[in-house]
Amino acid sequence: MKTPAFSYLRVSGRGQIDGDGFRRQAETITRYAKANRIEIVQQFRDEGVSGTKEALDRPGLTDLFVALKANGVRLVIVENATRIARDLMVSEIILAEFRALGVKVVSADGGVDLTLGNDDPTGKLVRQILSAVSEWEKCLIVQKLRASRLRIRRAGGRCEGRKAYGSTPAEQAVIERIQAWREQGKSYAEIAGLLNAEHVLTRSGEGSWHPTQLQRIVRRVQASLQRRKTGRQ
């Protein structure tokens, strides 16, 4: 008999939502689950949410806690400790909430129990070392990115991230359909359901459309149009 579990996925940047972050995390979790006779019964995820935010500031993590309190699932699988948090203090606070519910959180990439209690000195040391290394890596990455941007700017160049959704003819066609549905009075949830039913691919080609994702796309397009109108006046 397989052990039921929830999975939790998170990406911190909005530009990562349509990237391979969610797919990589899901694949790592799936491999671990298969190897350990675990059944992932529901997936929870936070899109574009920083790892320095606490549970109440994360819709996906909040939903996960609600689900845990409503049923008997007592195991949560994440790709690694950084998906819970990159800040040591935030990580400890969130993991303490899981322990209070009697829920075990395991990192799929190493099989480490991240929720070992404070009565296990070795487990606590390992957990805090992992969180501290994660926090250090985050600071190092931020410093490198800032230094790189500064060098480019000093050289007279531009720092551009990933192009927004709608930069290709195919994506623009999807946006036009979304806007047409909105004009018909359909909600973002209804539109997401229609796109998923028609198997319209997201940019990454993986996962499904979500209402919040569509809302961001529409708002960005509307803001861009407004800027153009203002520029012509």
User: 218 CB contacts (<8 Å, ≥6 apart)?
Assistant: 175, 178, 179, 182, 188
pLDDT of residue 51: 46
pLDDT-above-70 percentage for the chain: 75
pLDDT of residue 92: 80
Of the candidates 216, 197, 226, the residue with the CA atom closest to the CA atom of residue 15: 216
pLDDT of residue 17: 54
Higher pLDDT, residue 71 or 161: 71
**Confidence label for 97 from pLDDT (cuts 50, 70 and 90):** confident
pLDDT above 90 for 74 = yes
pLDDT above 70 for 81 = yes
pLDDT of residue 166: 82
Question: How do beta strands 75-78 and 3-11 pair?
Answer: parallel
Mean pLDDT over 136-161 rounds to 67
**Confidence label for 43 from pLDDT (cuts 50, 70 and 90):** very high
Question: 82 near 94, Cβ under 8 Å?
Answer: no
pLDDT above 90 for 88 = no
Type of residue at 36? N
User: What mean pLDDT is reported for the chain?
Assistant: 81
Please name every residue paired with 178 in a beta bridge, in sequence order, or none if there are none. none
pLDDT of residue 54: 54
Residues 220-231: pLDDT tens digits? 888 888 777 776
As a whole number of angstroms, the distance between CA 213 and CA 174 comes to 13
pLDDT of residue 40: 96
pLDDT above 80 for 163 = no
Of the candidates 72, 78, 18, the residue with the CA atom closest to the CA atom of residue 43: 78
